[in-house]
Chain A
Amino acid sequence: MGGLSRRAYLIKQLTSDKNKPILILDAGALLFEQPVIPPSQFAAKKAKAEGIVQAMQKMNYQAIGIANHDLAAGTQFLKQLEETFHVPFVSVNLVSKQNSELLFKPYLIEQTGDLSIAVIGLTGIEPGTLNTASSTDYSVIAWQKALRYTLDEVTAKVDMVVLLSSFPEQKNKEIAARFPGIHLILQSGHSSANRLPKLYTNALVTQVGSRGKFLGKMAINWTSSKKWEQNYTAQIKNLQASLDRLNWLIGRLEKRYRDKNPTEDAQYNKLTLARTDITSQIENIQKEKQQVQKQLSTYSDTFAGLKISLPEDKEVLSIVNRTKQVMNELGRTAMHQLKQQNIRQQSSPNMAGWESCQDCHPSQTEFWKQTNHANALQTLVKVKQQYNQDCLICHVTLPTYDPETVMKDNLIAGLNEEFHNVTCESCHGPGRKHAAQPEKHKPLIPDDKTCRNCHTPEHDTDFDYERKVRVICCPAS
């Protein structure tokens, strides 16, 4: 699932109904996978970031938050993107190191139908925690101070306040408690799964799962009460849970005192008093809710999956394809430079290379040479993506297929040729120890999970482990 072109198609479908006004926002962690980019990938990652921003502009995003990861190429790069593609980055707490001025607009006010909505960006970094090379051009103001000033400025001017925050949920809960004038917090950076809206004080907090596989949608009816109906529902639910527990405890005591008068027990009296109190609280809240029912704000929400079966928007698809070509060219330049500098990557001290396997497993190696795995790199050459490190990860042999480790440890750049293509160690794990002491260190037996590191539904719509393993499995010794 996923992809910018499918996202663009879905957004176009959702915005085709002109009856309701629409607001389109991104909470950040948009551009880069990691907060630090290895030097050999810098140019290609920046090119990809440009492509993403260009695509987001086509999708008419009205505000985009800035998370820690987005700063991997520095704030000047973001400002260039902002200027070139007119994308609305917002952050209330990123300031210039030179003059302490805000680097980006702290908020935007969007007119959505008859509503005016302030969208504030909050970068999820605490002052004093910066430790990356790219932090040389910016520093961070404490969120408490930054939000207080901004909310003082905007609250009277707008009907609703939305915060794009890349702080974790616990911090957003604290922010909602301190600033009840915030009504909705769109979160980024701290969950791989979709998070349903949850009410903290007066703010709903929600986020979409990571890696762009879903799109969040809410249909909101926002009223002059500036409160969510859920305020009351949540309160009643909590009190009801307490009431249920009290009833259970009281029931237990009444059973124990079957023939006696339980009112002589101090604990019993305490519990019944508490029950009366909570019952009264529930009644009061229900009365209050009935009085203001029509005035409370409501919403419904869904997460739309960007399935492979969705059509792709042609304009954004062309941006994606162009970006991939540029990334490939930049990847080629980077690898050529590494070769010239004679920098050969030791992909891992535990890797042996397929030629070492050949000595003891000649028939298996000959079998492997006839399979598609032995020509995995050629499939990238055909589509001119053989230098794109995002694709290479599954077309070469690595000690791990965890994309974060591959990126962080820069495992692909300058990879020795014997690790090009999907070779023995892709399936059987690093083999140096086995080559040195075959009986003591046995190779891994691959399973369904091993294959699905790369044979994902997005790249292999037809993958059936039982069928395919019979085709690819080397003959026994």
Chain B
Amino acid sequence: MNKKKIKRTTTVKLLTLFVVVALLFLNGQAAFAVDFKLIFSNDIRGEIEPCG
């Protein structure tokens, strides 16, 4: 009986630990903030050199 109780308690503890770790991991993964530079152009329309 004691052995079964110990086994169940250990399993519950391990499961709880797993869930907490997974949550922490996922939480850490989901959030991000990244700096980057965007350089863009459009409508060059064939102007290889300034034409006024």
Contacts and interface: CB of A to CB of B under 8 A. Distances in A.
Interface residues of A, number: 73
B40 A218 contact: yes
B48 interface: yes
Given A2-B50, A213-B50, A223 B33 contact: yes
A254 interface: no
Interface of A: 1-5, 7, 11, 14-15, 20-33, 45, 48-49, 51-52, 55, 65, 69, 112-115, 159, 184, 186-189, 206-224, 295, 306, 308, 320, 323-324, 390, 403, 454, 456-459
B41 A2 contact: no
B37 A219 contact: yes
Q: Across chains A and B, which 4 residue pairs bring their CB atoms closest together, nearest first?
A: A456-B52, A188-B42, A458-B50, A210-B43
Q: Is the interface of A mostly helix, strand, loop or mixed?
A: mixed
A115 B52 contact: no
Give the size range of B's interface with the partner: 20 to 34
Given A2-B49, A30-B45, A186 B40 contact: yes
Nearest to A23: B38
B30 A320 contact: no
Of A51, A65, A186, A211, the most chain B CB neighbours within 10 A belong to A211
Given A49-B46, A221-B33, A25 B51 contact: no
B52 to A, nearest CB: 3
A221 B47 contact: no
Nearest to B52: A456
A114 B32 CA distance: 9
8 contacts: A22-B36, A22-B38, A24-B40, A25-B39, A25-B41, A113-B36, A224-B30, A459-B51
Given A25-B39, A224-B33, A456-B52, 11 more contacts: A20-B37, A22-B37, A26-B42, A29-B43, A31-B45, A48-B46, A186-B40, A212-B43, A224-B32, A390-B51, A458-B51
